[in-house]
């Protein structure tokens, strides 16, 4: 840092010291064999159990607590401030490091919700294994007759004396076939009103009463499952939050989900669209280059807005409604990038398989198809717009004259 003669603010000095600490730790602990091989959250989520240097990296970052940098040290987290976490993220990006503990929904959804509503015993039991990446969680929300109208869910959970007995079906359960635990919304009082009588249960997936059936998508992937519960059991302390008050728990989890999606990598690759266009000789297409430039500007604006939202939210008790705006923004940027990637590749961006197409080209096509789901999962774009209109803009439920 240049010496201007002016005193340097303590926060700046602290930030520079932490930057040096983070850089040194990453240099010493991130395996060289993994450098230059970026992985996005989807690839990590769908991966099986890691081996070799991938396992070593997961163990190292988990033991450090930097897989969940801002979580309390009491539960294995990093205990960092939001500013330090941003510095860490930038240092990881600089050397191509990534978080190997993002498999499943533990870090992004279940863990934060347990910290919001869990007992001390639940936090001690479930949070440290999530930090270390040792367990994989899924979320049991949607049912065949309860999608956007989630409160219509019917999966039953009955008090069986010394345990809970669970029967019913969930659908679109991401990663259920790979998961160790499921955080599920269940109906504990069928006689109550639709939004009442719902509870949130922590269910062990390794039992005879749980069956998963992967659903193959048009992209060729199978990240979703049908999940069947037949006399599945959960101990009495598996209830998260209050009995029959699970709707509030479920809504908070969705807020955490949307907050995690607002900062998702745009496209999952480090190669810029401009470099891609040059590589495919598409720089003479003025319209395409203009669209690529607009996408880069939108991505930059989204990133800056996200940083401002994080700064403004410092000290708040939990995520508010801003993630609904940022979730739609992230979706728009990522889907536009996927479209532009195929456009830059020309005919090579139309391949599904075969020797005439590279791995990058076929991945681009499959990623473009899978990316269409971003407008739906985590709450559809229409639902986010409703939240924005009612909770942020204060618009009425209905327009006059309806």
CATH value at residue 368: 1.20.140.10
Establish if 345 belongs to a structural domain.
yes
pTM of the model: 0.76
Domain membership of residue 342 (yes or no) is yes
- Residue from 126, 90, 98, 79 nearest 41 by CA: 98
Is 397 part of a structural domain of the chain? no
Considering the domain architecture, whether residues 223 and 183 belong to the same structural domain is answered as yes
Query: Using CA atoms, how far apart are residues 360 and 219, in angstroms rounded to an integer?
Result: 15
Per-residue pLDDT, averaged over 39-46, amounts to: 57
In a domain, 122, yes or no: no
Answer yes or no: do 220 and 282 share one domain: no
Final residue of a structural domain among 185, 214, 244: 244
Residue 138 burial (10 A CB sphere; 0-12, 13-18, 19+): buried
Arithmetic mean of pLDDT, 17-27: 95
* 375 shares a domain with 301: yes
Q: Which is catalytic among the residues 257, 339, 353, 402? A: 257
How high is the pLDDT of residue 353? 85
Residue 81 and residue 166 in one domain:
no
User: Is there a single domain that holds both residue 235 and residue 305?
Assistant: no
pLDDT at residue 322 in the model = 73
Does residue 132 belong to any structural domain of this protein? no
- Which of the four pLDDT bands, split at 50, 70 and 90, describes residue 263? low
CA distances (Å), 192 to each of 151, 160, 195, 261, 378, in order? 12, 19, 8, 33, 26
Q: Catalytic site residue 355? A: no
Last residue of a domain, one of 87, 103, 119: 103
For 186: left if phi > 0, alpha if psi spans -120 to 50, otherwise beta; the answer is beta
On whether both 173 and 211 belong to a single domain, the answer is yes
Q: Which CATH number characterizes residue 227's domain?
A: 2.40.110.10
Average pLDDT over residues 240-258: 90
**pLDDT winner (highest mean) among 116-125, 257-266, 323-332, 381-390:** 116-125
Position 181 scores a pLDDT of 98
Q: How many CA atoms lie within 13 A of 90 on its CB side?
A: 14
265 pLDDT band, cuts 50/70/90, is very low
pLDDT band at 24 (very low <50, low <70, confident <90, very high): very high
pLDDT of residue 398: 62
Do 81 and 23 sit in the same domain of this protein?
yes
Q: How confident is the prediction for the chain on average, in pLDDT?
A: 86
Task: Report whether pLDDT(264) > 50.
Answer: no
275 and 387: one domain?
yes
Task: Give the C-alpha separation, 220 to 366, whole Å.
Answer: 7
Percent of the chain with pLDDT over 90: 54
Distance CA 56, CA 386 (A): 44
Same domain, 267 and 306: yes
Q: How far is CA 301 from CA 272, 307, 326, 330, in A?
A: 16, 10, 11, 10
Q: Residue 398 falls within a domain, yes or no?
A: no
Residues 269 and 388 in one domain: yes
Kindly state whether residue 257 falls inside one of the protein's structural domains.
no
User: Lowest-pLDDT range, 181-195, 344-358, 379-393?
Assistant: 379-393
Total count of domains within the chain: 3
Same domain, 207 and 239: yes
Is residue 47 included in any domain, yes or no?
Answer: yes
Range of the domain at 149: 137-244
Give the end of a domain, one of 177, 210, 244.
244
Kindly give the interhelix angle for 246-261 and 322-345, rounded to the nearest 10 degrees.
40
Region 135-147: mean pLDDT is: 93
Same domain, 268 and 362: yes
């Amino acid at each position: 840092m240049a010496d201007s003669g002016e005193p340097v603010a303590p926060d700046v000095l602290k930030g520079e010291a932490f930057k040096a600490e983070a850089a040194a730790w990453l240099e010493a602990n991130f395996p060289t064999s993994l450098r230059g091989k970026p992985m996005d959250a989807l690839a990590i989520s769908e991966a099986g159990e890691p081996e070799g240097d991938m396992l070593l990296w997961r163990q190292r970052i988990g033991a450090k607590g930097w897989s969940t940098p801002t979580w309390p040290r009491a539960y294995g987290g990093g205990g960092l401030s939001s500013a330090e976490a941003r510095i860490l993220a930038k240092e990881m990006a600089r050397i191509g490091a990534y978080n190997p503990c993002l498999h499943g929904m533990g870090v992004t959804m279940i863990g934060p919700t347990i910290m919001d509503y869990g007992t001390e015993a639940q936090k001690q039991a479930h949070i440290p294994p999530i930090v270390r990446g040792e367990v994989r969680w899924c979320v049991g929300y949607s049912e065949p007759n309860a999608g956007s109208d989630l409160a219509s869910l019917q999966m039953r959970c009955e008090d069986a004396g010394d345990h809970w007995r669970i029967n019913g079906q969930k659908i679109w359960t991401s990663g259920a076939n790979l998961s160790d635990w499921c955080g599920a919304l269940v109906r504990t009082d069928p006689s109550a009103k639709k939004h009442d009588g719902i509870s949130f249960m922590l269910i062990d997936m390794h039992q005879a009463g749980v069956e998963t059936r992967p659903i193959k998508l048009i992209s060729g992937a199978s990240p979703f499952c049908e999940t069947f519960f037949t006399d599945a059991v959960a101990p009495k302390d598996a209830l998260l939050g209050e009995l029959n008050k699970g709707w509030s728990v479920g809504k908070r989890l969705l807020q955490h989900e949307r907050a995690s999606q607002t900062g998702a990598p745009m496209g999952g690759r480090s190669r810029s669209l401009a470099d891609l266009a040059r590589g495919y000789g598409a720089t003479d297409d003025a319209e395409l280059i203009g669209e690529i430039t607009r996408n880069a500007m939108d991505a930059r604006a989204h990133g800056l807005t996200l940083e401002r939202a994080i700064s403004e939210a410092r000290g708040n008790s939990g995520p508010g409604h801003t993630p609904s705006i940022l979730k739609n923004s992230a979706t728009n940027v990522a889907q536009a990038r996927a479209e532009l990637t195929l456009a830059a590749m020309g005919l090579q961006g139309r391949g599904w398989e075969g020797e005439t197409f590279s791995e990058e080209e076929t991945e681009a096509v499959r990623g473009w198809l899978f990316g269409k789901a971003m407008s739906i999962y985590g709450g559809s774009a229409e639902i986010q717009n409703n939240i924005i209109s009612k909770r942020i803009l204060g618009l009425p439920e209905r327009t006059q004259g309806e």
